[in-house]
């Protein structure tokens, strides 16, 4: 593996900050207490909200602060533990931040957005407030969920990875073999859109291939993340190039007054996070993280010694640079490198059958600028450069036992994308808001893939293309808040893809009816589209004259119409029930241009095909989802989710079949509790939790064993997607113990995947050496141990 590292920008200076008025007497920091600070902004203009009252709910004596001229506040001597914050300002709806974890070793730094009230009353505080779990994007009406970093740290099975956390949501399933690919409402994982800081990014997972949206380990460390959003249907107009789900991630701001560090050491990696104020920049901050594979470190030290050690490293950073009248600039970056060498030496270990060398890389760096134009408008612009690549060299021994290895597969795939985007937000009045934007993407790529042809005894080219491509997206959305009960979002998204000169115009609409304070009905509908992987467009094949053809350069966009109906009910102050029914009509789906073929890209979850495709396929997904959730209050939480669904497709053979991802039933039950063990005045907390998951099996095309033996390779039967794999059952548990000190806090944590070590078959492969069909089971029991130090 080529040794490489990432530069990390760390600045170690402290700047002075503006004082704030507080409700509690300012004093020297008390033992087992911490500072809570942050900024309150107008969500419509991004201007600071001056004079907002920020209070710790239920504190004795009262703890709080009033925001200064920059919208900043500081509350000192907040007892460690969990708190709720209420934010009130004249002319705004109340802001309520629940379940904030205050730890001894790290300050809590918050960014709070307040929404203007539609009922303008002088010198009166408006009492309406957002419900818990509501997303920050007020243009989203249905199928939306906020993911907090704190949730991912305490929920069993998440192992601090938000991508694994979402599989607990209704209608969402993961990959039982351990990959964090996301299957939403019966759709292929390839339909997931990943975004970071509002910018589309490549798949942010280690060991990922082109066309794949999952991977075993997320490149982005959870210590860098702010609350993020996850959407599963009828997306808001600003989201394009997505069919099944949108994962909209955000980086948090670093502490702008104090240097802080977090050190983690565990099975999945050893990493350091640093944050603090930028020198000479009022309100400026830096945040940076670097992680390296723990197993790789142990391997290099000679402590572990086995084949196929996964090597990976990643780094990320965010610099916040406020400039006053010129607005706020933000520079951010993310990058990861992964590499693994695997050799199959059989059961005895003395016969080399094959050798595989795989490497993957991804990265993005971006510059954002947010500038207030008036008291009711602001513009957010960005420019970014992203890239991803992967390479594979696979050698095989034609005669087992001989030292000679013959090249069987070689891939080298590279893609670089420059994106320029700008979004204008305008609040016309208390009831009407407009948001419009444009996104320009310019790709440069080099694609090469060659595979050994046994029949012709030579390497054949599957793709060999270098060039460029452009994508243009534009959108506009309008939110109309008729009154405090009715609101509507409508708009349109336009996507133009330069490779095939295809254009999609996509109207969208969402309605919310708040029948009463604790009950609401929602509706969402819209058209959506997505491009395929570049390799699919430029795949090569040979015609009858042994000439090279590219059958899919004119392939169009895959499209879908989404319809969602929802109901929400707050049963108590901390228990919420939701149910959604949905229908998705997929059309212009790429299928093989053969009237006898059942091949459809709806069943692909990675890579590409060089079959000749046409946009003539169909698909339909429908189902109902429900969740019952108790938010974390009084030291415990629980969530139960269930979904019943059906996903089918039709290719050119005209037969409606089960799609690969028609899992049917997906359900989760999870709960957790915190135990304060240190007694009064001590910060000793034990956290326990479990998660039980039931996931219906995927569909597969049966393997024809006799035909496979005769051919010397896997041969499928003539009954596509007819075999339903067994349902997957999995129990995960988490146990953590944290100790808070005045200058530092420690946490010891173990998150055990598949405690019962279930070995249900996920899919099957043909093994020609054994002349047998071999099951591939779900991920075995895996204890993930981690130590964390905040200082």
pLDDT tens, residue by residue, 276-315: 999 989 889 999 999 999 988 888 877 776 667 899 999 9
Per-residue tokens: 242: 């997505």
Report d(CA 732, CA 650) in Å as an integer: 37
Query: Looking at the predicted structure, is the pLDDT value of residue 533 above 90?
Result: yes
Query: Looking at the predicted structure, is the pLDDT value of residue 524 above 70?
Result: yes
Per-residue tokens: 508: 């969208």
Which of 82-86, 428-432, 751-755 shows the highest mean pLDDT?
Answer: 751-755
pLDDT per residue over 106-131, tens digit each? 888 888 888 888 764 433 333 344 45
Per-residue tokens: 476: 């506009």
Q: Which of 181, 211, 105, 282 is CA-nearest to residue 663?
A: 181
DSSP 70-118: TSEEEEEEEESEEEEEEEE-TTB-BEEEEEEEEBTTB-EEEEEEEPBPS
Report d(CA 560, CA 576) in Å as an integer: 30
Q: Are 643 and 665 in contact (CB under 8 A)?
A: yes
- The burial class, CB within 10 Å (0-12 / 13-18 / 19+), for 627 is buried
Q: Which of 222, 330, 219 is CA-nearest to residue 273?
A: 222
Query: Looking at the predicted structure, is the pLDDT value of residue 468 above 60?
Result: yes
Report d(CA 563, CA 359) in Å as an integer: 40
Query: Residue 131: its pLDDT value, please?
Result: 54
Q: Are 226 and 254 in contact (CB under 8 A)?
A: no
Query: Looking at the predicted structure, is the pLDDT value of residue 41 above 60?
Result: yes
Indicate the pairing of strand 613-633 with strand 486-497: unpaired
Report d(CA 75, CA 58) in Å as an integer: 15
Query: Residue 25: its pLDDT value, please?
Result: 36
Q: What is the DSSP letter of 205?
A: B
Q: Compute CA distances 544 → 182, 368, 549, whole Å.
A: 40, 52, 10
Query: Residue 151: its pLDDT value, please?
Result: 80
Q: Which of 18, 480, 470 is CA-nearest to residue 283?
A: 18
Per-residue tokens: 17: 């900050």
Helix (H) or strand (E) holding 39: strand 33-42
User: In this structure, what are the phi and psi dihedrals at residue 155, rounded to the nearest 5 degrees?
Assistant: -90, 130
Q: Compute CA distances 778 → 179, 183, 346, 388, whole Å.
A: 10, 16, 22, 28
CA atoms within 13 A on the CB side of 650: 11
pLDDT per residue over 484-509, tens digit each? 899 999 999 999 999 999 999 999 99
The predicted model gives 577-600 an average pLDDT of 97
Q: Compute CA distances 254 → 153, 175, 320, 583, 705, whole Å.
A: 19, 33, 8, 42, 58
The predicted model gives 590-618 an average pLDDT of 95
Q: Which of 344, 266, 268, 274 is CA-nearest to residue 312?
A: 268
Integer-rounded Cα Rg, in Å, for the chain is 27
% of the chain at pLDDT higher than 90: 67
Query: Residue 744: its pLDDT value, please?
Result: 86
Per-residue tokens: 596: 């006898």
Specify the higher pLDDT residue, 678 or 676: 676
- Cα–Cα–Cα angle for 231, 668, 221, nearest 5°? 55
Cis previous bond, 61, omega within 30:
yes
Residue 528 CB coordination number (10 Å): 29
Query: Looking at the predicted structure, is the pLDDT value of residue 132 above 80?
Result: no
Which residue's entry shows tokens 């002088």?
122
pLDDT per residue over 167-219, tens digit each? 999 999 999 998 888 999 999 999 999 999 999 999 999 998 877 778 888 99
Average pLDDT taken over every residue of the chain: 89
Residue 3 CB coordination number (10 Å): 7
Report d(CA 63, CA 35) in Å as an integer: 11
User: In this structure, what are the phi and psi dihedrals at residue 163, rounded to the nearest 5 degrees?
Assistant: -65, -30
% of the chain at pLDDT higher than 70: 92
Query: Residue 123: its pLDDT value, please?
Result: 34
Query: Looking at the predicted structure, is the pLDDT value of residue 398 above 90?
Result: no
Report d(CA 336, CA 314) in Å as an integer: 4
The predicted model gives 680-704 an average pLDDT of 91
The predicted model gives 317-336 an average pLDDT of 94
Specify the higher pLDDT residue, 542 or 25: 542
Q: Are 394 and 340 in contact (CB under 8 A)?
A: no
The predicted model gives 613-642 an average pLDDT of 95
Q: Which of 562, 599, 561, 596 is CA-nearest to residue 580?
A: 562
CA 740 to the chain's CA centroid: 30
Q: Compute CA distances 562 → 294, 487, 523, whole Å.
A: 43, 20, 11
CA 618 to the chain's CA centroid: 27
Query: Looking at the predicted structure, is the pLDDT value of residue 47 above 70?
Result: yes
User: In this structure, what are the phi and psi dihedrals at residue 709, rounded to the nearest 5 degrees?
Assistant: -65, -40
First-last CA distance in the chain: 34
Query: Residue 303: its pLDDT value, please?
Result: 78
Report d(CA 244, CA 234) in Å as an integer: 9
Query: Residue 27: its pLDDT value, please?
Result: 44
Q: Are 67 and 22 in contact (CB under 8 A)?
A: no
Query: Residue 400: its pLDDT value, please?
Result: 63
Query: Residue 30: its pLDDT value, please?
Result: 61
The predicted model gives 3-10 an average pLDDT of 33
Q: Are 541 and 553 in contact (CB under 8 A)?
A: no
Q: Compute CA distances 611 → 257, 281, 555, 594, 655, whole Å.
A: 58, 56, 12, 10, 19
Distinct helix (H) and strand (E) counts, the chain? 5, 44
Report d(CA 238, CA 417) in Å as an integer: 19
3-class DSSP state for residue 295?
A: helix
Specify the higher pLDDT residue, 79 or 682: 79
Q: Are 216 and 207 in contact (CB under 8 A)?
A: yes
- Out of 672-686, 743-757, 774-788, least confident range: 672-686
Residue 588 CB coordination number (10 Å): 18
- Out of 112-126, 172-186, 394-408, 582-596, least confident range: 112-126
Residue 152 CB coordination number (10 Å): 21
Q: Are 656 and 648 in contact (CB under 8 A)?
A: yes
The predicted model gives 209-232 an average pLDDT of 87
Beta strand spans in 571-664 (E): 575-592, 613-633, 636-650, 656-658
Query: Residue 348: its pLDDT value, please?
Result: 67
Which residue's entry shows tokens 């938010």?
631
């Amino acid at each position: 593996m080529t040794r490489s590292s990432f530069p990390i920008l760390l600045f170690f200076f402290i700047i002075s900050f503006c004082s704030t008025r507080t409700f509690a007497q300012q004093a020297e920091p008390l033992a087992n207490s911490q500072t809570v600070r942050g900024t309150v902004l107008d969500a419509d203009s991004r201007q600071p909200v001056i004079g907002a009252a920020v209070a710790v709910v239920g504190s004795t004596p009262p703890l709080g602060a009033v925001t200064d001229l920059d919208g900043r506040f500081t509350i000192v001597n907040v007892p460690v533990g969990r708190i709720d914050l209420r934010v009130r300002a004249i002319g705004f709806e109340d802001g309520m931040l629940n379940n904030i974890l205050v730890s001894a070793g790290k300050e809590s730094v918050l960014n709070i957005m307040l929404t203007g009230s539609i009922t303008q009353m002088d010198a009166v505080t408006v009492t309406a407030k957002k419900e818990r779990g509501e997303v920050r994007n007020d243009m989203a009406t249905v199928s939306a969920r906020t993911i907090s970093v704190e949730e991912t740290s305490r929920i069993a099975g998440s192992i601090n990875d938000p991508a694994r956390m979402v599989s607990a949501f209704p209608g969402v399933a993961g990959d039982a073999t351990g990959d964090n690919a996301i299957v939403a409402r019966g759709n292929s994982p390839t339909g997931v859109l990943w975004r970071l800081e509002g910018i589309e990014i490549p798949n942010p997972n280690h060991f990922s291939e082109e066309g794949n949206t999952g991977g075993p380990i997320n490149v982005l460390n959870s210590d860098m993340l702010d609350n993020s959003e996850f959407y599963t249907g009828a997306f808001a107009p600003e989201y394009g190039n997505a069919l099944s789900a949108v994962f909209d991630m955000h980086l948090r701001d670093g502490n702008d007054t104090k240097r802080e560090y977090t050190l983690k050491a565990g099975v999945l990696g050893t990493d350091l996070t640093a944050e603090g104020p930028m020198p000479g920049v009022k309100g400026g901050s830096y945040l940076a993280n670097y992680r390296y594979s723990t197993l790789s470190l142990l391997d290099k030290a000679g402590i572990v010694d086995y084949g196929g050690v996964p090597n990976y490293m990643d780094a990320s950073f965010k610099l916040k640079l406020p400039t006053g009248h010129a607005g706020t600039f933000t520079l951010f970056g993310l990058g990861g490198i992964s590499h693994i060498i695997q050799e199959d030496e059989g059961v005895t270990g003395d016969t080399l059958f094959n050798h595989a060398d795989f490497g993957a890389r991804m990265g993005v760096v971006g510059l954002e600028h947010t500038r207030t134009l008036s008291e009711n408008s602001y513009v957010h612009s960005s420019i970014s450069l992203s890239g991803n690549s992967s390479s594979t060299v696979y050698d095989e021994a034609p005669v087992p036992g001989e030292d000679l290895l013959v090249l069987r597969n070689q891939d080298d795939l590279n893609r670089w994308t420059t994106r320029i985007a700008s979004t204008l937000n305008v609040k016309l009045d208390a009831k009407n808001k407009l948001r419009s934007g444009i996104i320009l993407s310019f790709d440069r790529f080099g694609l090469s893939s060659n595979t050994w042809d046994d029949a012709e005894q030579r390497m054949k080219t599957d793709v060999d293309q270098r060039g460029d491509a452009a994508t243009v997206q534009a959108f506009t959305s309008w939110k109309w808040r008729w009154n405090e009960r009715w609101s509507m979002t409508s708009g349109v998204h336009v996507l133009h893809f330069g490779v095939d000169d295809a254009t999609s115009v996509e109207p969208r609409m969402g309605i919310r009816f708040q029948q009463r304070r604790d009950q609401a009905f929602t509706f969402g509908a819209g058209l959506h589209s997505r491009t395929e992987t570049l390799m699919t467009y430029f795949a090569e094949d040979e015609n009858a004259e042994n000439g090279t053809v590219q059958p899919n350069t004119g392939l169009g966009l895959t499209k879908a119409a989404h319809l969602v109906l929802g109901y929400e009910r707050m049963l108590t102050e901390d228990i919420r029930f939701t149910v959604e029914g949905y229908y998705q009509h997929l059309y212009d789906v790429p299928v093989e241009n053969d009237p006898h073929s059942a091949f459809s890209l709806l069943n692909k979850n990675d890579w590409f095909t060089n079959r000749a495709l046409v946009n003539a396929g169909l698909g339909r997904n429908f189902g109902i989802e429900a969740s019952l959730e108790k938010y974390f209050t009084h030291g415990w939480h629980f969530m139960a989710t269930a979904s019943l669904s059906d996903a089918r497709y039709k290719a050119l053979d005209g037969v409606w079949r089960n799609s690969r991802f028609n899992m049917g039933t997906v359900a989760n039950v999870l709960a957790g509790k915190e135990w304060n063990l240190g007694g009064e005045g001590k910060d000793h907390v034990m956290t326990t939790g479990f998660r039980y998951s039931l996931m219906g099996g995927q569909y597969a095309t049966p393997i024809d064993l006799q035909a496979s033996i005769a051919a010397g390779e896997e041969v499928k039967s003539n009954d596509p997607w007819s075999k339903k794999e067994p349902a997957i059952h999995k129990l995960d548990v988490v146990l953590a113990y944290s100790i808070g000190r005045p200058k530092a806090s420690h946490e010891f944590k173990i998150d055990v995947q598949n405690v019962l070590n279930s070995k249900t078959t996920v899919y099957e492969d043909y093994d020609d050496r054994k002349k047998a069909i071999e099951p591939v089971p779900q991920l075995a029991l895996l204890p993930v141990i981690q130590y964390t130090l905040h200082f």
